[in-house]
Amino acid sequence: MSTPTVRRRRLGAKLRALRDGLGMTLDDVAEKSAVSASPFTTAKLSRLETARTAAKPADVDALLTLYGVSDTELRAALLALTREGAQRGWWQSYRAVLSPVYEDLISLETDATAVRTYQLGVIPGLLQTGEYARELMGAIGMADAVEERVDALVEVRLARQAVLTRDHPLDLWAVISEGVLHTRCVGEGVMRDQLSRLLMLAKRPNITIQVLPIDAPPHVGQMGSYSLLGFEGHIDLDVAFVEQLSSSLYVEDSDQVETYRRAFERLQAAALPAEASVQRIAEIREKHS
């Protein structure tokens, strides 16, 4: 049995919530579906809701119809979550160098409509240049890095950024601690090029970059970096992603995700406005050789 991924758990939790909202038991759903073209057993329903098995799009579509879900955006979001395993993602060719958690993140980014990220120590991955990413991996890697592996990981990081320029681009809002912008990279011009990229990307209508001043009063961001992934405005599907040195954590409980969402709103309020942030980035870039 494959390990449940975060998208599978989110889908199962939402299907269970829809059923509970109608006051139906698993037996009720099985009985009601018995006369349909897609009958369900209580065992199968339980496996779907507890993420012990991957759902098929046809099954999810049938359940949503059974539950009377007419919200087209919600249906689209849930069917997107169902696509795990139904189609081969570009990142699957890099499985030799990717952890399951990282695969989950890339998969979720692909289907998310919005990402809100706060970074205390690095430029967000979706905004990084290849050379900055390479230096970063060399600096924080706690195991001996094999050059071929680093090359592949840099390729992955850059490939992830396609979500920013697709037909319906991801809406990205990044709050970056100012100290990150002063990082002195070893490679000549690496940080200057990275800051130039931030200035270029900040011009895109789907990307907002704010700088949290280095002299800001104490704030919630001092507790660490994280990202929020959102899906079609349905906040009960949102997930918070917290990356640490030796592990990463997905926060899926709705109340806890809401805590991260409120924290991000505080960070937005504490940071420089977008226009002033662009000016600050440009000023710092001139100090880098």
State whether 176 and 209 are in the same domain: yes
Q: Which helix (H) or strand (E) holds 112?
A: none
Give tens-digit pLDDT for 122-174. Answer: 999 999 999 999 999 888 765 555 567 888 999 999 999 999 999 999 999 99
Give the 3-state secondary structure of residue 145.
coil
Longest Cα separation, the chain: 71
Q: How many CB atoms lie within 10 A of CB 65?
A: 14
Residue 261's pLDDT is what?
95
State whether 75 and 187 are in the same domain: no
Domain boundary residue, one of 55, 82, 109: 82
Residue 1's pLDDT is what?
37
Residue 106 lies in a domain: yes
DSSP, res 252: -
Query: CA–CA separation, 122 vs 267, rounded Å?
Result: 16
State whether 128 and 263 are in the same domain: yes
Contact 265, 193 (CB under 8 A): no
Residue 88 lies in a domain: no
Residue 72's pLDDT is what?
87
CATH number of the domain encompassing residue 180: 3.30.870
Residue 124's pLDDT is what?
97
Residue 10 lies in a domain: yes
Q: How many CB atoms lie within 10 A of CB 20?
A: 11
Query: CA–CA separation, 263 vs 7, rounded Å?
Result: 23
Residue 99's pLDDT is what?
85
State whether 176 and 131 are in the same domain: yes
Residue 219 lies in a domain: yes
CATH number of the domain encompassing residue 66: 1.10.260.40
Backbone angles phi, psi at 116, to 5 degrees: -115, 120
Q: Strand (E) positions, 36-184?
A: 114-119, 171-177
Domain of residue 116: give its range. Answer: 94-285
Give the C-alpha distances (Å, rounded to integers) separating 89 from 4, 68, 92, 104, 288.
Answer: 17, 31, 6, 11, 38
| Total count of domains within the chain | 2
Angle at 250 between CA 252 and CA 47, to 5 degrees: 60
> Is the pTM value of this prediction over 0.75?
yes
Tokens describing residue 93? 């060719």
User: Which residues on neighbouring strands pair with residue 210, listed in sequence order?
Assistant: 175
State whether 164 and 229 are in the same domain: yes
State whether 100 and 70 are in the same domain: no
State whether 71 and 102 are in the same domain: no
State whether 132 and 16 are in the same domain: no
Residue 127 lies in a domain: yes
Query: CA–CA separation, 144 vs 138, rounded Å?
Result: 9
Residues of the chain with pLDDT under 50: 1-2, 85
